[in-house]
Structure 1
């Protein structure tokens, strides 16, 4: 896999993709994507900063009470938008449950929404539910990274379930070392600079 940027980091599960200003695709402009899988066959992830107005309890009543604030579905990406995908953080020190949770990377894992909520109660620190996901075919994401469309940076546990996701991209960039942090202060319209 080539496709490295922002200090030479390759795309991998648990990493974030932060859209560069040159990425104008409306599906991804100004987004932060948490990668859930990335290998030679392609990559998938979810957009962390696109809340919808739809309350989780309207579509998945059992899960509405345990999702993080705001308790709404998030637009995870343009693929399979009729489906739901749940990403969670395990409580500190909790052993990975035998059923219903699949570790992804670091503190992140996927939750099986068909498992009863009670089976995971008390084990999850935070849950976010996404309508759809972002997907790339073999080599596609690496090509976009090589073209400068994405910054690849490490994720932190708090990135998944921020109550106010509007400034997530700026905050993620601000904590990066070196020149990448400068991008956090760029205006939305560079011509205004």
Structure 2
């Protein structure tokens, strides 16, 4: 991948990747696993980086693989392709209701990441967990980077790190997220929301 010069972006648009922030794939990122993806970061520290792809909903209903959880998850109630790492493993993320403290038996299977976003143990009791989680989403696999790898990819022009929120994680319109997240940024980044997938067709 050719190195890009994104120096035209003002400093106010450059965001340090942290838990709870987004990675938006730049048009230069041609890896089919990540092309036009938006990743929600769960962890970014000296031990590496972990996140989930937000805009790859599958056609597999949650109820087909996790019957007890189908009615508890947020729409669309399908399994999301979270990334190429451990694609056969399921990861559930929830958003805790700030007014409800988790019961002791639920707390054991729930670990807050940032801003109320919590990992949820799918072996836990859905009847206990669902009432204290305003939103739930199931991902197959996740995205991961070794220490320093993501910083190198950002420097090469593969990703734009941008601020994010739990609303991004649980968007009801996930397929259009790449365009939507860019469009809400200040110019000139917002102008890139219409960047064609195939520049030759422009």
- Return the TM-score normalized by structure 2: 0.87
Counterpart-to-counterpart distance in 2, 1:81 and 1:147: 26
Unaligned runs of 5+ in 2: 1-10
- Higher helix residue share: 2
Aligned length: 189
> What pairs up with 1:100-139 in 2 under 5 angstroms?
100-139=109-148
Partner of residue 36 from structure 2, selected from 11, 23, 30: 30
Specify the alignment match of 1:43 in structure 2: 49
- Using a 3 Å threshold, how does the CA distance of structure 1 residues 93 and 176 change in structure 2: closer, same or farther? farther
Look up the SS of the partner of 1:65 in the other structure.
coil
- Return the TM-score normalized by structure 1: 0.91
Matched-pair contact (CA < 8 Å) for 1:6–1:152: no
> What pairs up with 1:46-85 in 2 under 5 angstroms?
46-85=52-91
Structure 1 or 2, whichever has the larger Rg, is 2
Tell which deviates more after alignment, 97-106 or 145-154.
97-106
Alpha-carbon RMSD across the aligned residues, in angstroms, is 1.6
> Once the 2 structures are TM-superposed, how far is the Cα of residue 64 of structure 1 from its aligned partner?
1.0
Matched-pair contact (CA < 8 Å) for 2:57–2:175: no
> Once the 2 structures are TM-superposed, how far is the Cα of residue 96 of structure 1 from its aligned partner?
5.0
Matched-pair contact (CA < 8 Å) for 1:20–1:151: yes
